[in-house]
Amino acid sequence: MTNFKYFIMIILMALSIGTSAQTFPQKEIIIINPSSTGSATWVISSMIANAISAKIKMRIVDKPGADKMIGSNFSADAAPDGYTIHIGTTSDMFILPVLKPKGIKYDENSFIPVASIATQDPFLIVPANSPANNLKEYLDMIRQDPNARSFAVAGPLTKILAARVFQLAGTDIQVNEIPYAGDNKIIVDLAGGHLSAGLSTLTTAKPALTSGKIKLIASFGKSRSLEFPNVKTINEQYPGLLESWWWGFYVPAGTPVDIVNFLNESVNAVLNDPKLIEELASNGYTANPMTLSQVTKHHQIMMKKYTPFVDKYLR
User: Of all helices (H) and strands (E), which one includes residue 242?
Assistant: none
- Please answer whether residues 151 and 179 qualify as being in contact, where contact means their C-beta atoms are separated by less than 8 angstroms: no
Same fold, 3-119+245-314 and 123-237: yes
Q: How far apart are CA 179 and CA 78, in angstroms?
A: 29
This prediction's pTM: 0.86
- Please answer whether residues 264 and 91 qualify as being in contact, where contact means their C-beta atoms are separated by less than 8 angstroms: no
- Tell me which architecture the domain covering 3-119+245-314 has in CATH: 3-Layer(aba) Sandwich (3.40)
In degrees and rounded to multiples of 5, residue 110 shows phi and psi of -85, -15
Give the model's pLDDT for residue 6: 43
Strand order, beta sheet including 111-120 = 58-62, 29-33, 84-89, 245-252, 111-120, 286-287
- Please answer whether residues 215 and 125 qualify as being in contact, where contact means their C-beta atoms are separated by less than 8 angstroms: yes
Sign of the C-alpha dihedral computed for residues 230, 223, 45 and 56 taken in this order: positive
Give the model's pLDDT for residue 21: 56
Cα–Cα separations (whole angstroms), residue 63 to 35, 54, 240? 7, 25, 34
Q: Identify the CATH homologous superfamily for domain 123-237.
A: Periplasmic binding protein-like II (3.40.190.10)
Sign of the C-alpha dihedral computed for residues 133, 135, 137 and 141 taken in this order: positive
Sign of the C-alpha dihedral computed for residues 242, 248, 253 and 257 taken in this order: negative
Residue 5 burial (CB count, 10 A): 9
Give the model's pLDDT for residue 262: 96
Give the model's pLDDT for residue 9: 47
Q: Compute the chain's Rg from CA coordinates.
A: 21
Domain limits of the chain? 3-119+245-314, 123-237
Cα–Cα separations (whole angstroms), residue 157 to 8, 238, 270? 50, 19, 28
| Residues in the chain with pLDDT values less than 70 | 1-22
Sign of the C-alpha dihedral computed for residues 39, 244, 86 and 160 taken in this order: negative
Q: How far apart are CA 12 and CA 23, in angstroms?
A: 17
- Please answer whether residues 201 and 183 qualify as being in contact, where contact means their C-beta atoms are separated by less than 8 angstroms: yes
